[in-house]
Structure 1
Amino acid sequence: MVKMEEVKELIKDKAGFILSNLLSQGGEYGEIFYEKSRTTRLELEDRKLGRVSHGYDEGVGIRLIKNGRTFYGYTTEPTYENLLELAKTLARGEGYGPVAVGLRYLEGWTPVIIDPDSEDINFRADILRRAEEKARSYGDRIKQVLSVLMDKTREVLIVNSLGETTEDVQKRVVFFVEVVASDGEVLQRGYESLGGRKGFEIFEETPPEAVASRAAERALLMLTAKPAPAGQFTVVLSSQAGGTMIHEAVGHGLEADLVQKGLSVYAGKLGEKVASELVTVIDDATLPNHNGSFTVDDEGVPAQRKVLIKEGYLVGYMYDRLRAMKEGRESTGNGRRQSYAHIPIVRMTNTYIDKGKDDPEDIVRDTKKGVYVVKMGGGEVNTVTGDFVFEVMEGYMIENGEITYPIRGATLIGNGPKALQDIDAVGRDLGWAIGTCGKDGQGVPVTDAQPTVRIRKLTLGGCQVCE
């Protein structure tokens, strides 16, 4: 196998010939995408180190956009002969087409203090053991503990027919703890995560014990919770809830591929009021250290900050190169792919509702009766209609402006655009949560956030007659 640096030099040296062959039978755009990644993942469950995986992946994808369609192929043996043959196969012919060379070069990297590539398995295992022991310290009601640590280094090189060459080194760490507690009759789950575009110094900022404590405390708290009542309630979403709702119920609907296919409730609504005037929604890949951040996207477009909804009005969508070309626009830097074996598609990065001016405590105090959501779980959304259902992992009732008893078994049911319209208070805080966004069979790292917000009315799924 050719060494990584040799492959990169080969691509830089021969890109003009390969891309010219790729465009020999016409086309609007050609691209070579090289990637080498190292992924390490450890799982510790009930004091036993179970799944341990450590491996490398390397390959090159070549893409042709012709007449608005994508033609793609990839190889794990990136010799010049293989790349040239792949280009000719995608072009369906031989010859030479016009390409630009050397017009722009951009290089990025991830600054780290404790480089994961310099640490061994024992270092990682110790982090997991620390989390496990802290969770177990909460007593016999803790029945199961699962802690997972995953870190990845990803090096990419992108050369295209527009004369642009970009390189980026991305390092990410993801850590989570899941705890199951039982009082002998009821089982409850607690979950907490941590991660970002950084090295293992993340655990000096937030120790693994702190993550484990939050997961264990949440599981134990839910053992004392009352069954959630069913009905319509005012809902206050804490900034700690993360941005699950904004990501699922709003963000996907602002991705240009779904908009162009008519699969978004926001299609054809540019310039229209789609949310409360208190709401501004932003997607920003330039934020330092966040899980969805990068120097360039997977099409070589520099990271950007995009305002999607401004003071309630829809002002933009997220684009990759293909969808931008279809509308005569520029990409917004939202072309992302899971690996060299996948085509880039429109994806979010770090998506959030911008902070407002209200005091979070005042928002609760001004709510006579409602539900206070501290942590959201998983959910589903229909991007065509905007209808959603989300699990509430940690929630409480609000009575006369005070947070009272915890509730369990709750789900939030509503409509994304309607929920945005019904926001009548936005806090000046902002809380972030990491995730992996799945779409079209691909997963990419993201971060979502929101301040404390109050929604006038949502349906709470629970029990009809509660004790």
Structure 2
Amino acid sequence: MPLLETLQKFDLKKILKTALAHGGDFADLYAEEMETTQIISEDHKIDTAYTGRDRGVGLRVLHNFKTAHGFTNDISEKSLLRLAHSVAHAVKEKKILQDIHIHPVPPPLQHRIQQPPKDKDLQTKLKYIHQAEAVGWKLSPLIKQVKVLYADIHKDVVMINSLGEVTHDTRVYTLFYTQIVTAEDGRLQTGYHPVGGLVGLELLEQEPPEMIARKAALQALLMLKARKAPGGAMPVVISSEAGGTMIHEAVGHGLEADLACEGLSVYHNKLGQEIASPLVSVLDDATIPNKRGSFVFDDEGVAAQKTVLIEKGVLKNYMFDRRYSLREKTSSTGNGRRESFRKPPIVRMTNTMIAPGKTPPEDIIRSTEKGLFVKKMGGGQVNTVNGDFVFEVQEGYLIDKGKMGDPVRGAVLTGNGLHVLKIIDKVGKDLGFAIGTCGKDGQGVPVGDAQPTIRIPELTVGGEV
């Protein structure tokens, strides 16, 4: 029986009232049923191939801006009432309990899945792995390792809360990547190319496994021949192809309300202030069709939204979940997300991006006498309290006299997010997306990030001096 139908047979009003029996400001129930497939191939053999199922319910009470949360794998009315009693004991208040009128909330949008992965068998999915493998190994004898991953998730979620709202969302995620290692004369380089989204197997028609493997291999081979990046302060142009890794890490986390409102962000108490170049606008948008951070409702039953965080340099808003919106007496921006029913929701990004500008990206390169062009970003870390960041460059090139020059390896970008926002002097009219799984407080959720080509007139590049 579908999850929503199962829950509708229960006395939902009784369960929520039981959870609020000792008081509380808000209660909600999050039910989840998930099917997953994952296949990993490494060095000519299938290392992992499995399908799995998981289901359960999380129940939460908010009281004095604190969270009491519990969960169970037993989706029965008796089990949920027992869970509600358990969670209620964490609250020691006496409040008048309002009546609860259970009613469905219609979905504000839809994300169309053309080819649901659950309709295909494991052998079909293994073929995608073998197609990428074949291309990855044959391109060069310098290729020493090929790793390919295919994964899909079909997740059915139902949220019911003490406002009486019943929301339902079906999320289908597909992910595919190839990672290739090359070696020559003791040097190792890695190429990596992922694709994914709130999308079905049409993803691998738009970008076939062979193309994904080829991109990863060519990147690894190119970087193997690249010379060491120069070090020092210089102009840096970050391509739209790099996606919005920098905006996600160096800016986005600091605009999440749990950090910004607790004084753990460099953007604390800066609403209404000019914190960036007038060329810069930053959005968080869960409504974009089929992107990895998209959904219909967030994990608190709030409709997906497009939130303007920075508009022409001015800080307009933070990202809020229900808990922090209650505390700050504002509205949730639909950013309450959780890894599973086992975890309470927290403030998380969805698809975070710098909005495109008006400058052709080729003009940005042409107007840069010397500097570094970043085509692909690697990993990094950020201190949200002061905004300092360090990012690796996965694929970079020198800019010489307004033209793309030699490829370089080993570049590291070091700076401060707030300072970089203020000095960006060129914003392209293009837009490129990257995908990821964002980790925070022990939870990982799927996200997208994006940016146009941008120029930072001076940034410290770690490399050969």
Task: Give the alignment's TM-score, normalised by structure 1.
Answer: 0.96
Matched residue, 2:201: 200
**1:266 CA displacement:** 0.2
* AA of the residue aligned to 1:126: K
Matched residue, 1:97: 97
**1:66 CA displacement:** 1.1
**1:100 CA displacement:** 2.1
Give yes or no for contact 2:182–2:188 (8 Å, CA) kept in 1.
yes
Alignment deviations for residues 89-111 of structure 1 (CA, whole Å, 9 cap, x no partner): 21129999324213442347642
For 2:5 and 2:37, locate their aligned partners in 1 and report how far apart those are by CA, in whole Å. 23
Alignment deviations for residues 109-140 of structure 1 (CA, whole Å, 9 cap, x no partner): 64222211111111111101111111122120
* AA of the residue aligned to 2:342: A
Q: Does residue 79 of structure 1 match 2:76?
A: yes
Give yes or no for contact 2:111–2:289 (8 Å, CA) kept in 1.
no
Alignment deviations for residues 14-33 of structure 1 (CA, whole Å, 9 cap, x no partner): 11000111111111101111
For 2:408 and 2:442, locate their aligned partners in 1 and report how far apart those are by CA, in whole Å. 34
Alignment deviations for residues 427-453 of structure 1 (CA, whole Å, 9 cap, x no partner): 000000110000000000000000000
Matched residue, 2:270: 269
For 2:263 and 2:456, locate their aligned partners in 1 and report how far apart those are by CA, in whole Å. 27
Q: Select which of 35, 50, 53 maps to 1:53.
A: 50
For 2:99 and 2:152, locate their aligned partners in 1 and report how far apart those are by CA, in whole Å. 37
Kindly report which structure 2 residues correspond to 1:372-391, keeping only aligned pairs within 5 A, or say none: 372-391=373-392
Alignment deviations for residues 194-218 of structure 1 (CA, whole Å, 9 cap, x no partner): 0111110111111111111110000
Alignment deviations for residues 47-91 of structure 1 (CA, whole Å, 9 cap, x no partner): 211111210000001100112111000000122111111111211
Give yes or no for contact 1:318–1:334 (8 Å, CA) kept in 2.
yes
Matched residue, 2:397: 396
Give yes or no for contact 1:227–1:463 (8 Å, CA) kept in 2.
yes
* AA of the residue aligned to 2:58: G
Q: Does residue 292 of structure 1 match 2:289?
A: no
**1:4 CA displacement:** 4.7
Kindly report which structure 2 residues correspond to 1:337-348, keeping only aligned pairs within 5 A, or say none: 337-348=338-349
Q: Does residue 44 of structure 1 match 2:41?
A: yes
Kindly report which structure 2 residues correspond to 1:117-266, keeping only aligned pairs within 5 A, or say none: 117-266=118-267
Give yes or no for contact 2:135–2:214 (8 Å, CA) kept in 1.
yes
* AA of the residue aligned to 2:105: Y
Give yes or no for contact 2:10–2:77 (8 Å, CA) kept in 1.
no
**1:379 CA displacement:** 0.2
For 1:274 and 1:241, locate their aligned partners in 2 and report how far apart those are by CA, in whole Å. 23
For 2:310 and 2:335, locate their aligned partners in 1 and report how far apart those are by CA, in whole Å. 16
For 1:29 and 1:154, locate their aligned partners in 2 and report how far apart those are by CA, in whole Å. 25
Matched residue, 2:434: 433
Give yes or no for contact 1:38–1:56 (8 Å, CA) kept in 2.
yes
For 2:206 and 2:9, locate their aligned partners in 1 and report how far apart those are by CA, in whole Å. 39
Q: Select which of 30, 33, 36 maps to 2:30.
A: 33
Alignment deviations for residues 162-207 of structure 1 (CA, whole Å, 9 cap, x no partner): 0110001000101111001122331111011101111101111111
* AA of the residue aligned to 2:133: E
Give yes or no for contact 1:19–1:99 (8 Å, CA) kept in 2.
no
Alignment deviations for residues 373-425 of structure 1 (CA, whole Å, 9 cap, x no partner): 00000000000000000000000111111111111111000000111111000
Distance 1:337 1:99, change over 3 A: farther
SS of the residue 1:100 aligns to: coil
Q: How large is the RMSD of aligned CA atoms in angstroms?
A: 1.5
* AA of the residue aligned to 1:74: F
For 1:284 and 1:352, locate their aligned partners in 2 and report how far apart those are by CA, in whole Å. 8
Report which stretch shifted further, 177-186 or 362-371. 177-186
For 1:274 and 1:10, locate their aligned partners in 2 and report how far apart those are by CA, in whole Å. 47
What percentage of residue pairs aligned between the two structures are identical? 48
* AA of the residue aligned to 2:337: R
* AA of the residue aligned to 2:54: D
For 2:288 and 2:266, locate their aligned partners in 1 and report how far apart those are by CA, in whole Å. 28
For 2:265 and 2:457, locate their aligned partners in 1 and report how far apart those are by CA, in whole Å. 24
Matched residue, 1:106: 106
